[in-house]
Amino acid sequence: MALVIRKPTFDILSAAKWMIRKDCRALSSLVEKTEETEKRPVGRRARFQNPALEYRHIFPEFLPDPNPKWRNSLREKMERADMLKRRSQIDIPEFYVGSVLAVTISDPHAQGKTNRFVGICIERKGCGLRAEFTLRNVVDHQGVEIRYDLYDPTIQSIQVLRLEKRLDDKLFYLRDALPEYSTFPFDMDPEILPEGTPVPVNTVQVKLKPRPWLERWERQELKGVANIEEHLKEKDRIRRELRKTPWEKYDLMKEYRKTIPVEDQTEIWGEVHNQLNQLRLSRKKMFKKRPISTPKPQLG
């Protein structure tokens, strides 16, 4: 929808251009979900045909911050080159918010100088070399969260134990949910998806603990929470209605400011496509060669 402003010259009536416009619309995050449902039966390999459609979900950190005050083409280019250099050293896999990861870092404070942590990714943020993600787990009945820089050179390996998505973009509500929803054993076996399947969406709905909560979850229109209504009072429902902003989905300018234009995206993906593809192929080779063994948990 945001593309209507950007590309006013498109003739909507002509059928051929309608197709192009539909393609471009997929790049703005507004209509993403409908496109996603259409594509799922086609399979994962077919989606590789347009790299921009695929890569902006797999490597979101390659897109720069859309704030025009901070943009500079040369700096972005240098940043991408550095990211690719780091990616040639360590295999940074495809993962999403909701995937279960195991991260091994070199830690000068730990006894064996390495530290391994397993947890569910509850947040991914930042662009370029600043990209970071947060893992959450419950260890000894105590919720633990660790934030990692994605391009930190002390990270030895990032392993995806379970590749899946959740219904929400951020899973901060797991902090207020029952502990079994964020408990993952450290000796968990990696679940390998067959080649060509789309990334599954886990539709589990978590149960929240009774109030007090850390945030007002009822106002955030969360899909992954089951029992939010039973903890609410009449006062909260009235407040929620007052705080709703249903007009924001029609705010095209807001949407435009949050996204990178299609022309820029095609340029960026054209620049990094070859190297990313090579890295993907080499990873596949390594994956086939690798002997099947489970990593041992390191306790202290």
Partner 1 sequence: MAEGKPPKVICVYNKKRIGYIGDRVLVAIKGQKKKGILVGLKQIQNVKVPKFDSNNVVLIDDNGTPLGTRIHVPIPTILRTILKERTHAKGADYTKLLSIATKFV
Partner 2 sequence: MATFNMKILCTTLSKLSVNRVTIRRNAYYKPPKYRPPHWFMPKERVMSEDMLTQENRDFIEEIKQDKLNSQLALESPLAHVDQHTVQWTPFTRRVGLIARKIGNYPLWSKDGKKFQTTLLQVVDNHVIKYIPPEEFNPMRTKKICWKEKRTLGCLLVGSETVDPSTVTKDYCGIFNSVGMLPKRHLFRFMVSPNSALPTGTPLFATHFRVGDYVDVRAKTIDRGFQGVMKRWGFSGMPASHGVTKTHRRPGNIGAGGEKARVWPGTKMPGHMGNRWRILRGVKILRINTKHNILWMLGVGIPGETGAVCYLYDTVLPLKKLKIAPPFPTHPASNDLPLEYYDESIHPFEEQTIMFDEV
201 strand-pairing partners: 165
Q: How far apart (Å, rounded) are the C-alpha atoms in residues 60 and 127?
A: 8
Minimum CB separation from partner 2 for residue 150, in Å?
A: 11
What sign has the CA pseudo-torsion 100, 105, 107, 110? positive
148 binds, among partner 1, partner 2, none (CB under 5 to 8 A by kind): partner 1
151 binds partner 2 (CB under 8 A): yes
Letter for the amino acid at 144? V
What sign has the CA pseudo-torsion 124, 165, 197, 283? positive
What b/e sequence results for 197-214 when a residue is b if at least 16 CB atoms lie within 10 Å of its CB, and e otherwise? ebbeeeeeebebeeeeee
What residues from 93 to 122 belong to the interface with partner 2 (CB under 8 A)? 106-108, 112-113
245 binds, among partner 1, partner 2, none (CB under 5 to 8 A by kind): none
Q: How far is CA 45 from CA 40, 54, 102, 199, 224, in A?
A: 11, 10, 26, 11, 28
* Residue selected from 74, 214, 242, 253 as contacting partner 2 according to rule CB under 8 A: 74
111 binds partner 1 (CB under 8 A): yes
Structure tokens at 111: 């006894």
Choose between 47 and 170: whose C-beta lies nearer to partner 1: 170
279 binds partner 2 (CB under 8 A): no
For 250, residues 6+ apart whose C-beta sits below 8 A from its C-beta are none
* Residue selected from 22, 45, 75, 147 as contacting partner 1 according to rule CB under 8 A: 147
Helices 73-89 and 262-289, packing angle to 10 deg: 10
* Residue selected from 107, 168, 264, 271 as contacting partner 1 according to rule CB under 8 A: 107
Segment contacting partner 2 (CB under 8 A): 12-20, 63-71, 240-248, 283-291? 63-71
* Beta strands in 163-208, from DSSP E residues, in sequence order: none
Site string for partner 1, 165-184 (x = CB under 8 A): ----------x---------
148 binds partner 1 (CB under 8 A): yes
Letter for the amino acid at 209? K
Report yes or no: 29 and 53 within 8 Å, Cβ to Cβ: no
245 binds partner 1 (CB under 8 A): no
5 binds, among partner 1, partner 2, none (CB under 5 to 8 A by kind): none
- Residues engaged in binding partner 1 (CB under 8 A): 105, 107-111, 115, 117, 132, 139-149, 152, 154, 175, 299-300
- Residues engaged in binding partner 2 (CB under 8 A): 69-72, 74-76, 78-79, 82-83, 85-86, 88-90, 106-108, 112-113, 128-130, 149, 151-156
